[in-house]
Structure 1
Amino acid sequence: MQVFWQLRWYFHQQWRRYCGAIAILVIVALFELLPPRVIGWVVDGVVSGDMTSSELLGWLGGLAALWACVYFLRIIWRCWLFGAAYELGTVLRNRLYKHFSSHPPVFFERHKTGDLMARSTNDVNAVVMTAGEGVLTAADSLITGLTVLFIMTATISWELTVLALLPMPIMAIVVFFLGRQLHTRFSASQAAFSDLTDSAQESLNGVRMIRAFGLEQRQQRDFSAVVDQVGEKNMAVAQVDAKFDPVIQIAIGMSFFLSIAGGGYMVSQGQLTLGDLTAFTLYQGLMIWPMLALAWLFNILERGSAAWKRLQQLFDQQPEIVSGAEPLSLQQQPLSVAIEQFCWQGQSQPALANVHFELAAGKMLGLAGPIGSGKSTLLALLLRQQELQDGQIRYGDVPLRDANLEHWRSGLRWSVRRRFCFPAPLLTTLPWAIRLPA
């Protein structure tokens, strides 16, 4: 249940939808208590011969109207509950995109593209399921289970109820340990899927290089190994997942066996009527869903908890480069660059050294040089994708470190020539950067 507490910020935002859906679930649960009791009365009336045909048709018509009302109420709570859950997916993906956009390139060196894609898809979907099906199974199983249990105990026979619930503690213990095992294996399967996505992205990105050096067979072997690993991890999850249903079905079967055997004995002793036993078995049928939902709830919560933990690891990472608060002038200003030395992270050899120039407002500067001469490094410093430690860049009188980062970058355009992303001539892709029609 910890994942529900971690998502409390969203439940607070959508409290009207969730509270309305749960309120309707309570109404539906109360309505569903009536048919078994009514059917029990009808059975007793038919057996004793006291019920007329008109009374029978009246009871059946009332049940049909009740079921129609329940049907429309179910549509309403599904729209509210699942609508709020699907909106959570939009909120999380927008939050992830905004978070990714605030990080410098070093963040994407720590996290591979495939891993980020996997967290933005599979993990978000698991959290959405927790906020939808997870809330449904938790609320509906609790409400339906408690109300049906109260009716069975208070109106029919508490002895028979205790007898029918004997297999439940065993089922709860088994499901608990299966849930913990599922959490570990699902986390491993999500990590393996991240590796698969990243391997596919790297293969497509470097397909020209792979063909140029004749590495197709080697790349195929490496990719097959990653695919096999993903299959093994998913199979491990499926093996645990497949154990839930048999445990529940065995517990349900034992419960029905005990209730029918004990109830038959009580009917023969005159402690229950046939109608009471019929109503009890129908109520017990209503208990099947809460028992199934209990196992499904553990499954969903463990998946959602593992997925949210992976997402939270990203959200907890703060950007290394933080925007300043100094506003920039709307008028063109001169650009002053004084770079004493800049080294990439983990390297001692300077990528740039002793770079000093002044660019007056409205003037143009061209950069030319061989590969590795520092052209892209200088542009990265101007965009403040990298932090300059030894030196200073100023726009007018404002140091770049103190400038509002969003305002500064909104006035810059950089058209990157990467054929994987932009497989088109330069004159076609250039207008995308300067935001003009082609």
Structure 2
Amino acid sequence: MNKPLFRHIKKLLWQYKWKYITGAFFLLLTDIFQLISPKLIGWGVDYLNKGTLTFKSLLLVFIALLLLAILTAIFRFFWRMQILATARRLEAQIREKYFTHLQTLSLNFFNYKKTGELMALATNDLGAVREMFAFGIVMLLDTIFLGTLSIFFLLSISPKLTLYIAIPLPLITLTITFFGKITHRRFRLVQDSFAKLTDKAEETIAGIRVVKAYVQEEAELKKFVERAQDLLNKNINLVKAWGFMFPTIELLAGFSVLFVFLFGGLEVIRGNISLGDFIAFNSYLGLLIWPMNALGWVVNNFQRGKASLERINEVLDEVPDIKDSPNSIKRERLEGYITFKNVYFKYPKSTKWVFEDISLEVKPGKFLGITGPVGSGKTSLVSLIPRLFDIQKGEILIDDIPIKNLSLYYLRKNIGFVPQDSFLFSDTIANNIRFAKPDLSDEEIYKLIKLVALEEDLKEFPDGINTIVGERGVTLSGGQKQRIAIARALAINPPILILDDALSAVDSKTEKQILENLLELRQDKALIIIAQRLSVIQEADEIIVLKDGKIIERGDHNKLMRLRGFYAELFEQQKIESELEREEDELLS
């Protein structure tokens, strides 16, 4: 069953209905004024042909034509402002709706939808939709108004000649229908190809450091050129369809002119119509040729807009996997008591369990450390707390409330989350820190910078906290990015603070300083830290070791060392490595 094309924007279209109605009215007036001119010219020619045209009559015709030209220009301006400006407003609102919807979608959607494709929808596709509601509407109305009124005036001059014009019309209709389907299909392929090209460009630019590091500029250029060539080929196929459609329509419309010239000339010779009427008839025919040709443009424009809107609708049709439950609880401040009860979890579209039967708790003021081999599910575990993913079995509670019953907004406002990839925006250090709390003062920012041991680094930045960090924080080291990300999380003073291996890029001295500060702050916070470097979680109240989706060891540092299991073995290994590095540094110094 085909879904309505305008299902996501019908409210917006209804909102602008009067703009389009008044625009259509001004367009109708413009067409009427255009159509009066040939009648006046024909009247003047007849009087001239009879030798009865006076200077006064000529002056009246001149003034009337001038007035009509001025009125046509004025109303043409009005319909442009009503229709074309409204299409721009409509485009802006669709783009806002699209962007807003993207932010509601669950993380899993972005795992399989490429960034470049989503960008193409918000730019190239939306441009095609705008054109459909701008010149597409104009040409459609103009075709209807100008075509209908031209035929009315043509019939008033000579019904017989008007019939000759109608001969090619069925062929024009068939041509438009045939090429319209081809245009729709080929334009969709063009948009798909453009999305792939955009995605490749975005990916290469984002990973330019890796490209340069591995000297792969030529290889990346080759891949880009391949996609650019594919886009070119698909555009050429589309142009071929247009190339056949428009000349065919113009040729068929041209037959009307030939018929009128031949048979209309005979009518003048026979005295059935006057020379003025013949000239006026040809002028109206010239005006009618435009609607005939415009039909092709209308179909082309609407097929392009339809194909693009269908692609945008596919994203707007997406329903978030994770959303608020009916009557969700809106609690401004949580205490931060976290409980996992027999939790089972696997990713959407996967059959393998990431966790099986996980139970744990973290009380406010306590510090939970998490470690384990690569791929053991550490990140997945902490991602369940802010409901970035939902569990399949068991229950996760905060303050004895199932998190599925908590409002997503308030749940996440109470969690400071620092992921492995410390993403920074292309903005100042200060604005990155105050991202979740825009009213944060500079004084508060400096306190946070002290907490994350960034004071010394700050002295090296040209503009201090107002230094622009570049896209994704490209001008900073990994450790600096991590510390700014931690400061951003601390800025909201959350009752739950989660650091996912967020100290991996800092040196041992800085690590120790930051941990001391965090442990002082944890008095009213549930602190969860994932770490591969065990010195980071050595002071934790409880440490859990994950492996193959299960907790294989748990306890504080001393207890785990006595177990002589995975944790103890890893700790001893890291201790030896640390001593060797210290001895090497002493030798070098």
- TM-score where L is the length of structure 1: 0.91
Equivalent positions of 1:76-225 (< 5 A) are 76-153=78-155, 155-225=156-226
1:398 lines up with 2:401 in the alignment: yes
> Contact 2:23–2:83 at 8 Å: present in 1 too?
yes
Deviation per CA, 1:155-205, whole angstroms, max 9, x where unpaired?
A: 210111111232222222112211111111111111111111122222233
Task: Give 1:422's aligned amino acid.
Answer: G
The structure showing larger relative contact order (alpha-carbon pairs under 8 Å, at least 6 residues apart) is 1
User: Which amino acid letter does the alignment assign opposite residue 107 of structure 1?
Assistant: F
Contact 1:367 1:375 in 2 (8 A): no
Which structure 1 segments of 5+ residues have no match?
Answer: none
Q: Per-residue deviation at 1:117?
A: 1.3
Question: Is the 2:8–2:316 contact (alpha carbons within 8 Å) kept by the matching residues of 1?
Answer: no
Letter in 2 for 1:417: S
CA distance in 1, matches of 2:139, 2:376: 61
Give how far 1:13 is off: 1.6
Moved more, 374-383 or 278-287: 374-383
Is the alpha carbon distance of 1:332 and 1:8 closer, same or farther for their aligned partners in structure 2, counting shifts above 3 Å? closer
**Corresponding residue number in structure 2 for 1:348:** 352
Q: Distance in 1 between matches of 2:366 and 2:281?
A: 87
- Find the residue that maps to 1:414 and give its secondary structure: strand
Whether 2:465 is the aligned partner of 1:414: answer: no
* Structure 2: distance between partners of 1:353 and 1:384: 18
TM-superposed deviation, 1:78: 0.7
Alignment match, 2:362: 358
CA displacement 1:393-437 (0-9 Å, x = unmatched)? 22223211111112222333435514762323324555555668x
Residues 367, 192 of structure 1: alpha-carbon distance in 2 compared, 3 angstrom cutoff = farther
Quick check: 1:134–1:301 contact (8 Å CA) kept in 2? yes
Structure-2 separation of matches of 1:316 and 1:274: 61
Q: Partners of 1:231 and 1:364 in 2: how far apart?
A: 60
- Map of 1:362-401 to 2, 5 A cutoff? 363=365, 365=367, 367=369, 369=371, 372=375, 374-401=377-404
TM-score w.r.t. the length of structure 2 is 0.69
CA distance in 2, matches of 1:3, 1:147: 31
CA distance in 2, matches of 1:6, 1:50: 63
- 8 Å CA contact 2:355–2:377 kept in 1: the answer is yes
Against the structure 1 CA distance between its residues 122 and 95, is the aligned structure 2 distance closer, same or farther, given a 3 Å change threshold? same
> Which segment drifts farther, 418-427 or 253-262?
418-427
Write the letter of the residue equivalent to 1:102.
T
| Inter-partner Cα distance in structure 2 for 1:433 and 1:267 | 87
CA distance in 1 between partners of 2:228 and 2:356 (Å) = 42
In structure 2, what is the equivalent of residue 317 of structure 1? Answer: 318
**Distance in 2, Cα, partners of 1:218 & 1:57:** 73
The 10-residue stretch of structure 1 (4-13 or 268-277) with the greater mean CA deviation from structure 2? 4-13
Residue identity opposite 1:297 in structure 2: V
Task: Report the structure, 1 or 2, having the larger helix content.
Answer: 1
Judge conservation of contact 1:11–1:18 (CA < 8 Å) in 2: no
One-letter amino acid matched to 2:149: T
Determine the structure 1 residue equivalent to 2:56.
54
Counterpart code for 1:396:
D
Q: Secondary structure at the match of 1:300?
A: helix
In 2, distance between residues paired with 1:405 and 1:289? Answer: 56
Superposed displacement of residue 390, structure 1? 3.0
* Bigger mean CA deviation after superposition, 215-224 or 238-247: 215-224
Alignment partners' CA distance in 1, 2:307 and 2:105? 24
Give 3-state SS (helix, strand or coil) of 1:338's partner: strand
SS of corresponding position for 2:473: coil
- Measured after TM superposition, the shift of residue 389 of structure 1 is 2.2
- C-alpha distance 197-342 of structure 1, shift in aligned 2 (>3 A): same
Give how far 1:73 is off. Answer: 0.8
- Native 8 Å contact 1:338 1:354 kept in 2: yes
Closer/same/farther in 2, CA of residues 242 and 410 from structure 1, 3 Å limit: farther
Question: Are 2:62 and 1:11 aligned?
Answer: no
- Whether 1:244 aligns to 2:213 is no
Structure 2: runs of 5+ lacking an equivalent? 425-470, 493-589
